[in-house]
A and B are shown apart, each in its own frame.
Chain A
């Protein structure tokens, strides 16, 4: 269209996930005309198709209900089914099953380990050395995301914790990381809006003990719904750890020590799932399946807010529409170029190139995809990047998993995946020396830890010991059991299983970054539409690793205090394995992808301001957890929605002037 014509929309939003849908709804309510470009497939009319995908999936990973699917028949070469080749897909995404794989399987092109690529950097991360067997630890980015209508938060857990005041003042308070350019008071107001939109079940009275880590609510504030009851697992851990204290740091922590003794106690987790009928959705029935999919939508997901956005009559969604360029004329964004893709009856992929204009542009397509689109634009010269911070400071909540058998049944595999946590160790002077973490108590036995109930069942059917529990035969050999004896043995094991997941406030590092997988301006790996794929460099610094050392210690203390037997086992050489001070650890991704377009007070060191508006391009907002300057100690969804409320207000104000 002619550049002189007036824009087609008030706002063009790229991505129909948490932030995009919330901003669309707010703009729609204000009478603004909005187009959402969603790269992936439309939100299905019913989630039965997704449920069926989940039931039939060999590996019930977070991505398993959502297209494109892994094959449903295993083979020796592909034991969990054939994985789709990202170069044939219009919207490939990072998946659990592709972690540690090459670019024929993994959408994210994972860079070499730090030891090979980051020598001589200003703040060299101490990449662990190869072990005695010569295995190089596989520091790989291990978080995944979806590209479909509704986005990754189809499979969020629902955890709706608020950040702590010191989370957002890490530099000022502890001299580490960076501060957030927003006040805690303002965040409190924004969280209240997000808690209402999501429908968070919690009680401020039950959260009150967390005043010790600085969690405070404005006077009189109460959550929209009563809290989710603590599970039998939570109750056992809570009573089992009574009186436990741990020091802020372990002996020989680099940089200094915090000998303060901190109380370990359990609190219910504020959750975006219904404890009462709310917002025309049902009460949680404890399907124990928040990840990968709630069968009854008792857990809020972004399609709820998308529905409300569409109900305004001012919002349109264009599905299967992949943005690949944001045109900038001078300082303003002027146009989005995108492919509309389709498949014919034979599955052949085709695309049509289109453009659309708006007064305002909002990039809301995930921390990695936002960075990719910014770097792709302007013929791969990049936009909104005068700070050189686009794609940098990639963070996650690296997740350390430990697991144990309780002395008595505590009955996991029941209720929402997690209903409580240990939040009492999230803040303290130790943050000068090591990363802080929260501890999530799981209600799904050893499902995450060991792939149970499958692994234990096959152990006792076949006489193997992959779980570590099948050692009751002569001289500790595995048993093969049958009939009622088999059933009762498995009952005895399953009902005593539980796990704790620790999530760390990883350091922001410029070297951890998303770039385009290009060499001399030419893409090495592309998706099915010919768009260059993101390349990721990722690793952990000693500050973060020291947090792992502490977390392993705290978990062992919890298990000892409970009389539980720990079975945590960490490998060497696999993706996510590393060795720190002689001890092996493994991290999982938490899906909490953060930092790639960090917010800050000025354009020299950040990409967006506190309202997530580009410093460089005044009619462009870049939104989502990519704006977080640090990953903090709470799961990010609540806060990224809170920030989206602030962005929506600033966009409406800009449109009205």
Chain B
């Protein structure tokens, strides 16, 4: 694996990052890394995160993901996500904080410095919006069964009717977890 973040990651690294992202976010892999993926947010996000935290920290997180994925009996995506994000612990480790920032990238299109918390009624400030496409493809809006503000793919009057199901918006509701 390259230590130079400007070098594009290999296909296998990208796929592993996308698989990990799908588990962490609860979205179907096809929404994280579509078969035809000209935007390639997986590549953009991977490289951005590495540029912020360094290759070793990313490698460590993805190493943990790989070992969790290879366990037998097979873990559910929910179990893998809970383990990586350390939801059972009182405080997340530095590695889990990186996993949090990766979830935030997919949900919000922005980079949140790992471990920086919000307060006073508002979330933490993002360091930056990673790109225009990171915003227009950000997935929190799918969780509202909608679209990014300012980027609607719908047509006149859709707002007067119920939206399509959450699964249609990409959440992997068939695979473990749920309320």
Contact = CB atoms under 8 A, between A and B. Distances in A.
Interface in B120-161: 120-129, 131-132, 135-136, 140-141, 143-147, 149-152, 154-161
B129 A72 contact: yes
B112 A458 contact: yes
A487 B172 CA distance: 9
A493 B148 CA distance: 17
Given A458-B118, A482-B85, A488-B166, A293 B150 contact: yes
Nearest to A490: B143
24 contacts: A72-B128, A80-B125, A286-B154, A286-B157, A287-B147, A287-B149, A287-B150, A288-B149, A289-B149, A411-B163, A413-B147, A453-B140, A455-B122, A458-B112, A458-B118, A458-B123, A461-B107, A466-B122, A480-B87, A483-B24, A483-B80, A485-B82, A487-B25, A490-B143
B78 A55 contact: no
A interface: dominant SS: loop
B26 interface: yes
B128 A466 contact: no
Interface stretch (A116-124, A224-232, A421-429, A526-534): A224-232
User: Which of A462, A466, A488 lies at the interface centre, i.e. has the most chain B CB atoms within 10 A of its CB?
Assistant: A462
A60 B84 CA distance: 31
A221 interface: no
Nearest to A491: B143
B176 interface: yes
Contacts of A643: none
A569 B121 CA distance: 9
B89 to A, nearest CB: 9
A483 B82 contact: yes
Given A286-B152, A485-B177, A458 B124 contact: yes
A51 interface: yes
Nearest to A417: B149
Given A54-B150, A55-B135, A287-B150, 6 more contacts: A286-B158, A287-B149, A288-B147, A461-B85, A461-B103, A491-B144
Contacts of A487: 25-27, 143, 166, 171-172
A55 B143 contact: no
A285 B154 contact: yes
A461 B135 contact: no
A288 B80 CA distance: 35
Interface in B27-84: 27, 77-78, 80-82, 84
Interface in A545-593: 569, 571
A295 interface: yes
Contact of B141 (A413, A451, A488): A413
Contacts of A491: 143-145, 166, 171
B123 A455 contact: yes
A79 B152 CA distance: 28
B10 interface: no
Given A288-B147, A411-B162, A412-B144, A485 B121 contact: no
Closest 5 CB pairs of A and B: A415-B159, A483-B81, A484-B177, A79-B125, A487-B26
B151 A287 contact: yes
A479 B89 CA distance: 11
A285 B158 CA distance: 8
B127 A73 contact: yes
| Range for the number of chain A residues in contact with chain B | 35 or more
Contact of A484 (B122, B125, B126, B175): B175
A73 B129 CA distance: 8
Interface residues of B, number: 69
B23 interface: yes
Nearest to A483: B81
Interface in A454-493: 454-455, 457-459, 461-464, 466-467, 479-492
A101 interface: no
B110 to A, nearest CB: 8
A261 interface: no
B117 A462 contact: yes
B6 interface: no
Contact of B140 (A231, A286, A490): A490
B104 A485 contact: no
A488 B162 CA distance: 17
A414 interface: yes
B121 A453 contact: no
B7 to A, nearest CB: 24
A369 interface: no
Contacts of B77: 483-484
B153 to A, nearest CB: 8
B100 A462 contact: yes
Contacts of B4: none
A536 B51 CA distance: 45
A63 B87 CA distance: 38
Nearest to B91: A463
B129 A55 contact: yes
A490 B170 CA distance: 14
Nearest to A411: B163
Contacts of A458: 104, 108, 112, 118, 123-124
Given A412-B144, A415-B159, A485-B177, A58 B81 contact: no
Contacts of A485: 26, 78, 81-82, 177-179
Contacts of A196: none
